[in-house]
Chains A and B, each alone.
Chain A
Amino acid sequence: MRRARWTALAALLLAGCANVAPYQRGYLAREAMALDPNPGMARALEKTYSAKEAASGGASVGGGGCGCN
């Protein structure tokens, strides 16, 4: 019953989103809309912050650790 409820909720959420055709995605394709426009820079900044904070991770797995004293 609970699973059916979650499935219905997910379907409702997806249905509520506009069905954007490929030709309508010009703005979405812009670099400013990218979630990770420069992987090297994102990696460097992620490490810089994580070395000083207790929290880390989020969008990825399989990265490994470092000695950040």
Chain B
Amino acid sequence: MKAALALPILVAPARAAAEGNEIGFNVLGYKERGLMKVTEPVLWARGTVDEAWDVEGSAAVDIITGASPRLVSNATGTPVATVSGASISDRRNTADVKVTRHFGDFALGASRTVSDEKDYDSKAFGIQGQWDLNRKNTTLAAGYGKSNDRVGSTDNPDLHAPRYTQEYMVGITQVVTPVDLVQSTLSWGRGDGYYDDPYKFTVSFYPDGTLAAAGDTRPDHRDTVSWLTRYRRYFPESNAALQADYRYYHDDWGITAHTIEVGWQQSFGDRWEVRPGLRYYTQHQADFYFPVIPRPQPAILSSDQRLGTWGGLSPTIRVVLHLDNAWRIEGTLGYVQNSASFHWGGSGSPAFETLRAVYGVLGISRPF
């Protein structure tokens, strides 16, 4: 339950394209080498009612099996993560709905999201206002969200710790020319509550023959800020679009991260579209990330390598097929490699163990 994960519900104005009623079904398969395997079917729909109301929603199930790193020890000389012997099996059910009412150039939306799994429950809501101006060449948006989560542990039935998060966002979407548009969104939030990972431990051996052991302990709050800018440009002569996203992230745990994703969506006639893409991610570690327990032992520390210094590269390929009867079939294949050596600006955490994963998404949708 560690990575506080913001699932996108209230999205700033998503497209300049005309909206319509649409329903779709996707299945995601994700597999890490030697670790987790996730299968996630998602059913989603969106539509317009009486031209003044937009309704959208989705329901998904995550089926998780495999193993997860639980212990970081330097017993062999260098700190390495040890995977739990027992196979993990969990199932996460989640659903969300969002309703938007349009008032001329204004729109007001409200959303609700719930999810549950063995050791984590989440309830969240959000509201968002949106204002079209400059003959709809500019859209301003502002939003507020709040989540009320409960953290548990299959190892500790008595653990039911709360975590509350409040988030804010402001954004602008601007049509620049007839072939390009840009969107920039700034969001920030404050979380309070239980952030420890009850499944993770650190054991350190010292040259003098002594050892220390510690559970994962993190601050009881987290202030975050992220700034996402997305750019789209169409090239009529090539019948293709450039898609470029950049996100800056920073929090008061000391983590700074940059994410860049670039894609080129090429159309072949009216039926086929192919989109090769590349995503690059790099982050600097949390202040309390210690793969070896320091002396004297600090009050908060974690050896979870997701809080370390590292980078990741992920090439993807997406193929879209439009059928005559308006069905749309989409498939995406992606490869993920996270490694200390991919960190921007020098080598990352020596204890970071390279993660290799593949995923595929198959989706089908159609207007109705």
Residues of chain A touching chain B, judged by Cβ–Cβ distance below 8 Å, are 14, 17-22, 24-69
Q: Which 6 A-B pairs have the closest CB atoms?
A: A62-B126, A62-B145, A67-B120, A61-B145, A64-B124, A58-B228
Query: Is B28 interfacial (CB-CB < 8 Å)?
Result: yes
Which among A14, A52, A56 is the interface contact of B4 at CB below 8 angstroms? A56
Interfacial chain B residues near A56, Cβ < 8 Å: 3-6, 226, 249
Assess whether B68 is in contact with A69, with CB atoms less than 8 Å apart.
yes
Residues of chain B touching chain A, judged by Cβ–Cβ distance below 8 Å, are 1-18, 24-26, 28, 30, 38, 40, 42-44, 46, 56, 58, 60, 62, 68, 88, 90, 92, 94, 96, 111, 113-115, 117-120, 122-128, 134-138, 143-147, 149, 151, 163, 165, 167-169, 171, 173-179, 181, 183, 185, 187, 189, 197, 199, 224, 226-228, 230, 232, 234, 236, 240-241, 243, 247, 249, 251, 253, 255, 257, 259, 265, 267, 273, 275, 279, 281, 283, 286, 306-307, 312, 314, 320, 330, 332, 334, 336, 338, 355, 359, 361, 363, 365
Interfacial chain B residues near A31, Cβ < 8 Å: 17, 273, 320
Assess whether B9 is in contact with A62, with CB atoms less than 8 Å apart.
yes
Assess whether A59 is in contact with B165, with CB atoms less than 8 Å apart.
no
Which among B18, B26, B117, B279 is the interface contact of A29 at CB below 8 angstroms? B18
Q: Check A51/B8 contact, CB under 8 A, given A32-B265, A35-B14, A61-B187.
A: no
Which among B56, B117, B334 is the interface contact of A67 at CB below 8 angstroms? B117
Interfacial chain A residues near B113, Cβ < 8 Å: 62-64
Assess whether B257 is in contact with A53, with CB atoms less than 8 Å apart.
yes
Assess whether B137 is in contact with A17, with CB atoms less than 8 Å apart.
yes
Interfacial chain B residues near A54, Cβ < 8 Å: 3, 249, 251, 253, 255, 257, 283, 286, 306-307
Residue of A20, A28, A62 most packed against chain B (CB within 10 A) = A62
Given contacts A55-B226, A59-B11, 9 further A-B contacts (CB under 8 A): A14-B138, A20-B175, A20-B177, A32-B273, A39-B58, A41-B42, A61-B145, A62-B125, A62-B128
Which among A37, A49, A51, A57 is the interface contact of B187 at CB below 8 angstroms? A57
Q: Considering the chains assembled together, what is the distance between the CA atoms of A25 and B118 in angstroms? A: 48
Q: Check A44/B306 contact, CB under 8 A, given A62-B167, A67-B117, A68-B1.
A: no
Interfacial chain B residues near A60, Cβ < 8 Å: 6-12, 126, 143, 145, 169, 187
